[in-house]
Every structure is written in C-alpha cells, then in structure tokens.
A and B are shown apart, each in its own frame.
Chain A
C-alpha cells in the first residue's frame, strides 16, 4: 500500500515537473519558430542559421567554453532577478549592480599587491559582491522608506552606475600605461584572475554554487520563508509580525550581491579588466532568464545556458549563414513574451494551468 502510494506520488511529482517546464519549453519553441519566420523573410535560411548557431555553441570544446563563459553572467543576473521576484520585487537594476561589482573587483585586482593567488582572487570577488549588494541597498531603502517603486529607481540607478563607472575608468582608475587612450582600468594581476580548466571556466562553477545558495536561502532558512511570505502577501507578513521593511532591503541587497559577484566573475574570469560598455544588456537578459527559469534558482541555470548558447553561437551563425547576430535578441524578446503571456502558450499547446505561487508586482507606485 505504502509503496503504491509512494509510487503514485512519485508519478505525481514527475507530472508536476513536466507540467511546470511545459510552458517555458513551449515558449522557447514558439520564439524559435517566429525567429525562423523572420530570418526567412529577411532572405536567409532559418535551418542553416539554427544549425550554425548550434554548431558555434556546442560543436567544439572551444564552443562549449564560450557557451559557459556567456552563461555564467546570465546565471548571476538571472538569480538576481529571480531572488528579488520571490519577495515581489522587480530588480531591473542588475545591470548597474553588475557594473559596480565589476569595477570594484577590477580595482582590487590591479591595486592590491603581494597577496597569494587564491586569496587575492577571493578578496576581489568578495569586494565585487559587497559593492553590488550595497548599490542594491539604495533602491531597497528608497522603496521601504519613501515608497519609490524599485522598477524606476533601479533603471535610473543603471544610468547613474554607467556614468559613474565611466568616470572612474576615464579618471581615477584609468589605465595610464603609455599607448592607452581608451577608457579602461589597468589589467588585473594574474593572482586575481579566475582560472579556466579546458572548456570549464571556474566562474561557471561559482554560478552553479550561487544558484544552490539562492535555493538554500529561499527554501531552508527563516529569511527565505519571510521573503516568500512578503512576496505573496505583505499584509499577512506584517500581521504575522515579520519586519517587512527589513526583509525588502535585505532581499534587494542579496539580489544585487548576485549581480555584483557576476560582474566580478566577468572581470576576473573573462575580461581581465574593467571596460565600459561590456555586456550592455545583462540586466534585461536577467529578466528573461529568471522568467524562463520560472524564478526557480535551479531553473535559472538551463535558461541561462540556452541564452548563453545563443550568444556564443551567434558569431558562427553570422559568419556561416549570414544572419545578423541581433536575431538572438529578437528571439530572446519573443521567449520573454511567450513566457509572460503563458495563457497563449497554454492555449496553443493545450497545457492545463498549474497551481503555484502567484506574485503580484504592479500593486501601484506607493505600495508596501
């Protein structure tokens, strides 16, 4: 009897799992389909384009390395968005938080001398994480104490972060070596760099660990319980004696810390220094990743891999199939549309609605 029940609940779990990934998969399929139509309309072959894309992303060890390198910051920014989502907060500021993390890590990376390799790299990572997190505290505090909606404040802070890091890379932190005229910091010391083993960048491992950490905080700690309660019903949370203000700020800090460490990893593992304008849309990409991953920390990883592969393969696609790289942006936007408009996907693919946590974001401008 008990065994049968167990089996049944296992079956139920499998079915629930399949149900929960049906909409994202359907959204991806529909987006690729419409993307194919657009490619065909612009006079190229969609099949060739997608094959070249896949070849570029997974066809070689080099392709895998590029894919994982592109995936890594997407996991971090996806985690930043997904984590804040759980508390009903929409963090569009991952971009700015990432920039602060990146430039701080670069600064620690080139300015601090005489540390052993592992320690130096760790110190730079931690500095980047803290810088990103502190920058995220601003919209959190603005939201709790003044009611300013985080969607607009984080976007404004993105522009401010862009201006500020641009100033730093042009001024106090500029690479003064002879021959350099562009805005960038000096290269970080070898002791601060993160290794890449064959096709596996160390940063990717960190990103996966960060996802585990996010899951652990959300599902296994009191703070996580409070975050989820605030996300589903702030009034109930307040009534239950939770400190909603503190939870909101803390959530933003942790969310932004994910973006910050993402910037640090990008600097220490890929770019090697800070240069303005790198990965300009990572913050927005994080939204797509988070929603494709159903705001589940573990769902974020495959979602980020998908977008990362599209990024990594788009070069080869442009070269082999003569399709502009930006088609990946279009497909990505379509994915976001179909994931958000899950009713369309359900209706087209006849998927039944599932019961799950529902989070409301747009409760007006001055709520909470």
Chain B
C-alpha cells in the first residue's frame, strides 16, 4: 500500500522542486568545471555575481511585497536613488556608516509611504504615482548633489570566521560586506513572512481578492500601506548598498535602471522571494560576466553592446514570462470601499 503513496509523493516532490533542482545541478556542474580550470577567475565572477545581485534582489523583494498586496511599485528606481543619496550625505556629515544606512532605509520607507498615499488613499494611477517618485528623486538628488564630496569609508567585507576559509564557497559566500549578508537573510525572512505568517496570508488575500479580505475584517488599506512602506525600506537598503557598500560615493543617476530591472527580476521569479533571488543571481551573473569579459579583453565586441546585456535580458524575460507567470489578481487596481 505504501509504495504507490510514496511514489505519488515523489512525483509531487519532483513536480514542485524538479525544475529548480535540475537547474541547480547544472549550475553546480558548470561552476565546478570552471573552478577546476581557473579557480581565481571563477571565484571573482561568482563573488561579483552575488554582489551585483544585491540591489536587484532587494528591489525585487520591494516590488513583490507591494504587488502581493496589489500595489505596483514602479518607483523603486527613485526610492533607491534617493536612499543612496541620503545615505551618502549622512555618512559625509556624520561619518557614521550604520546611521547612514539606517537613514537610507528610512528614506526608502518615507518614499514608500508617499507611494502608498498616492496609490491607496488618493487612488492615483499607480504607474504615474511611481513615475512621480522617480522624477522627484532625479530632481532632488540633482539639485542637492555637490561635486567632490567623498564618503568616510565604506562598508567592508566581514569574513565569517573559519567559514570564509573554505575554498570557493568561503570567499564567495562568507566574506561579504553586511548589506550583502542582509539581502540573503531578507530573502528567507520575506519568504517566511509571506507564506508562513498571518500577515502574509492577509497580504496575499488583499492582493488576490481585496473585497473578500475586507469582508473578513482585514484592513485592506492598512495591509497595503505597511507592505509598500516596508518594501520602500528594502529599496532604501538597496540604495544604501549602492552608495555605501558597492561604490563608496554618490553619482548622479547611479541606480542606472536597476530599479526597473528589479521589476523584471520579480516577474521572472514569479512573485516569490526565492524565485526573485534566483533571477537576481542570473542578472548578477550577466553583469559579472560582462565586467569580466571587458576586463579580460577577450571579446572583440564593442563595450556598449556588452553593456546592453542586462537590459536586453530584462526585455527577453518580460517577453517570455509575463502571461505565463500569473501576477496577483488585483494587481494595480485601487481598492474602493463599498458604501
């Protein structure tokens, strides 16, 4: 009796995890192959992949928190940019990196609140609301930007004891600056909150069928506000990553479209944290390879074409996966209470 049941379980297991596991196996095989051939380059590319993925995965988490509650956040780019700027300026003035990161996160949250106000309370078209944030961020950071300021230090890698000594895995995974660690932890946290807590259930209910959620006594507006604000804070962390961890200074429009790429990452990841993480790593890998190829000078392709890679990938992902991956049912629709 037990054999068919376990067989069915196995089938179910395969159906659920099969694709992911196969991809993981192939990826691991490829990594080991290249590691055997040129360990240093492989390590560098993988470490760079992880770091390039940080703003994307944080941005995608921001996007999916909002969209799971049916608020489309097209202003991630602006939230990142503004947070990068504020974090940088706070660091310049105070010299306190932790405080600077916190202020960056706060900036993102405030802009998240602004988006929530526009899209939940005022019921402005969400795409326009996000665009307002983007343009506002470009304008404000441009106006207050001063040339020649430099940050007082930046967030340095913290090796995690003996773990960092493991070949290949150590330098790639366990020798990173704090926000990179935080982004990995946050993937698990958001997954847990979204799928294993009452709040997550409420969020998904609000995103799929707000009317029903409302009938059950869930405060639709509150859920949307909180998710968009927390999402903004994550985008703010991504901004702080750019100015305080990756670069160590602020440049005009330094986000370079990452906020929009993050949305493609979110869609590619089918609105799930782990999916988004995988997609972000793929995008990070594309960027890391691009840098590596340019650095090695092996390819005789103009650098502008290599630079287009992440953007082309975004379009391909959007073209191939939208429609097949299903967004939350109420995505983008303001909720109007009856009465």
Q: Which residues of A contact B (CB under 8 A)?
A: 38, 90, 92, 142, 146-149, 151-153, 155-157, 159-160, 163-164, 166-167, 170-171, 281, 284, 287-288, 291, 324, 326-327, 329-334, 336-337, 340-341, 343-344, 359-366
Chain B residue contacts of A92, Cβ below 8 A: 131
Stretch at the interface among B39-47, B83-91, B226-234, B314-322: B314-322
Does B264 make an interface contact (CB < 8 A)?
yes
Would A361 and B302 count as touching, CB distance under 8 A? no
Residue in B118, B139, B322 whose beta carbon sits within 8 Å of that of A365 in the complex: B322
Q: Report the minimum CB–CB distance from A53 to chain B (whole Å).
A: 14
Would B304 and A330 count as touching, CB distance under 8 A? no
Chain B residue contacts of A330, Cβ below 8 A: 136, 139-140, 143
Given A163-B305, A333-B138, decide whether A362 and B322 contact each other with a Cβ distance below 8 A.
Answer: no
Chain A residue contacts of B142, Cβ below 8 A: 326, 329
Would A360 and B125 count as touching, CB distance under 8 A? yes
Does B312 make an interface contact (CB < 8 A)?
yes
Chain B residue contacts of A155, Cβ below 8 A: 257, 260
Given A148-B318, A340-B129, A361-B127, decide whether A156 and B311 contact each other with a Cβ distance below 8 A.
Answer: yes
| Separation of A155 and B264 alpha carbons in the complex (Å) | 12
Q: In the complex, how many residue pairs between chain A and chain B have their CB atoms under 8 Å apart? A: 141
Q: Report the minimum CB–CB distance from B212 to chain A (whole Å).
A: 18
Chain A residue contacts of B257, Cβ below 8 A: 155-156, 159
Does B332 make an interface contact (CB < 8 A)?
yes
What is the 8 Å Cβ interface bit string for chain B, positions 292-327, against chain A (1 contact, 0 not)? 000000000010110110011011001110110001
| Separation of A343 and B261 alpha carbons in the complex (Å) | 31
Chain A residue contacts of B58, Cβ below 8 A: none
| Separation of A327 and B323 alpha carbons in the complex (Å) | 42
Would B302 and A146 count as touching, CB distance under 8 A? no
Q: Knowing that A163-B311, A329-B139 are A-B contacts, what are 8 other residue pairs whose CB atoms are under 8 Å apart, sorted by A's residue number?
A: A142-B319, A146-B318, A332-B135, A336-B131, A336-B135, A340-B124, A363-B333, A364-B333
Would B127 and A333 count as touching, CB distance under 8 A? no
Residue in A164, A170, A333 whose beta carbon sits within 8 Å of that of B135 in the complex: A333
Closest B residue to A334 using CB positions: B136
| Separation of A204 and B126 alpha carbons in the complex (Å) | 33
Q: Report the minimum CB–CB distance from A74 to chain B (whole Å).
A: 14
A to B CB contacts below 8 Å, 20 in the list: A90-B131, A146-B318, A146-B323, A152-B314, A153-B315, A156-B311, A159-B257, A160-B311, A284-B135, A288-B135, A326-B142, A329-B138, A329-B142, A329-B143, A332-B139, A334-B136, A340-B129, A344-B122, A362-B72, A366-B327
5 nearest CB pairs, A to B: A329-B139, A148-B318, A362-B332, A326-B143, A333-B139
| Separation of A35 and B74 alpha carbons in the complex (Å) | 25
Given A152-B263, A329-B143, A333-B135, decide whether A341 and B124 contact each other with a Cβ distance below 8 A.
Answer: yes
Does B132 make an interface contact (CB < 8 A)?
yes
Chain A residue contacts of B134, Cβ below 8 A: 284
Chain A residue contacts of B322, Cβ below 8 A: 146-149, 365-366
Would B125 and A361 count as touching, CB distance under 8 A? yes
Chain A residue contacts of B256, Cβ below 8 A: 159
Residue in B132, B311, B315 whose beta carbon sits within 8 Å of that of A336 in the complex: B132
Does B190 make an interface contact (CB < 8 A)?
no
| Separation of A331 and B135 alpha carbons in the complex (Å) | 11
Q: Report the minimum CB–CB distance from A148 to chain B (whole Å).
A: 4
Closest A residue to B142 using CB positions: A326
Chain A residue contacts of B319, Cβ below 8 A: 142, 146, 148, 153
What is the 8 Å Cβ interface bit string for chain B, positions 50-92, against chain A (1 contact, 0 not)? 0000000000000000000000101000000000000000000
Would A163 and B127 count as touching, CB distance under 8 A? no
Would A167 and B305 count as touching, CB distance under 8 A? yes
Closest A residue to B307 using CB positions: A163
Closest B residue to A358 using CB positions: B125
| Separation of A361 and B130 alpha carbons in the complex (Å) | 12
Q: Report the minimum CB–CB distance from B245 to chain A (whole Å).
A: 23
Given A287-B135, A330-B143, A340-B128, decide whether A171 and B302 contact each other with a Cβ distance below 8 A.
Answer: yes
| Separation of A333 and B114 alpha carbons in the complex (Å) | 14
Would A340 and B118 count as touching, CB distance under 8 A? yes
Given A142-B315, A156-B260, decide whether A364 and B143 contact each other with a Cβ distance below 8 A.
Answer: no
